[in-house]
Amino acid sequence: MHDYTITFATLNCLDYTRTCLDSLWQAGVPEERVVVVDNASRDGTVDYLRASGLPHVVFNRENLSCGAAWNQGILARQSEWTIVMNNDLVVTEGFAQGLIDFALRRGLLMASPAMVEGELDYDFKGFAREASRKMGQASRLGSSHAVCMCIHWSAFMRAGFFRAEPRLLGFEDAVFFNALRAQGVAHGTTGSVWLHHFGSVTQEHMKLARGIASSDVLVKVNDRKVLNQSWLERKLLRHRLKREQRTWREQELLAHGMTLHGLRRGQQFEWI
């Protein structure tokens, strides 16, 4: 068993936090490996976490941003591997070890699982077993996502931790991924591990509280300036990433009839 910690931030959304933790316990994750960081919830989450008996919970007096909360969770135990993830998701048994095993096999310092987003109106456990069998050898090297990131400690030593700035709310992952690319940190996504992601629930609640349209961003930043990129560099990077996504999708559909990123809508799967 490898040394790992699982951490996520909460901001209200108590039902999703409870569902997420229940899935972790059902997946066999020991309580002492989980660090929950609450960013000043006001919906009963704090009371729930205080009564949960979890040994590692951090309560912030105000919303310090995902970046700060993720760093607090990472530094609380300082494990060899830290799984930084959302609280609006469901995992399956062995997901943590599966991500670490994939990273070690492929020489990666960060790994993400495949996922389905949307309504949980299907047998996810059964789906995940079949999808892992079918897509177990599929991967997207050089591509990962912030819904769930299994990160080796050495990646933080090379690329740094998350930017803990409230003005970057909702943009911290892009800054971190840019640092990974700049430092040549190998990362990827595997079809051997799957999760269900309900969607960006926390961000949607924050948008609602701020009166921001769902289609808009939480904060407006000059992403080229934050990422220290020229207009041309940003355009070329976006073009390359989109081209890679199209290529992976086409190859996965041809080989397996599905991809590593699904959307559940209208009781049907759509493959992205």
Query: How do the domains of the chain map onto residue ranges?
Result: 4-219+259-271
Is 4-219+259-271 in CATH node 3.40.50.1370?
A: no
Averaged over successive runs of 10 residues, the pLDDT of the chain (272 residues) comes to: 94 95 96 97 95 96 93 98 97 96 98 96 96 96 96 97 76 87 96 92 50 50 57 72 91 97 94 93
Q: Are 37 and 202 in contact (CB under 8 A)?
A: no
Number of residues written out for the chain: 272
pLDDT for residue 224: 47
The radius of gyration of the chain from alpha carbons, rounded to an integer in Å, stands at: 18
Looking at residue 137, the DSSP 8-state letter turns out to be T
* pLDDT tens per residue across span 184-199: 999 999 999 999 999 8
Spatial CB neighbours of 251, under 8 Å, sequence gap ≥ 6: none
Q: What is the pTM of this model?
A: 0.88
Task: Indicate the residue type of 116.
Answer: V
* pLDDT tens per residue across span 35-67: 999 999 999 999 999 999 999 999 999 999 899
To the nearest whole number, what is the mean pLDDT of the chain? Answer: 89
pLDDT for residue 207: 47
Spatial CB neighbours of 154, under 8 Å, sequence gap ≥ 6: 109
Q: Are 109 and 185 in contact (CB under 8 A)?
A: yes
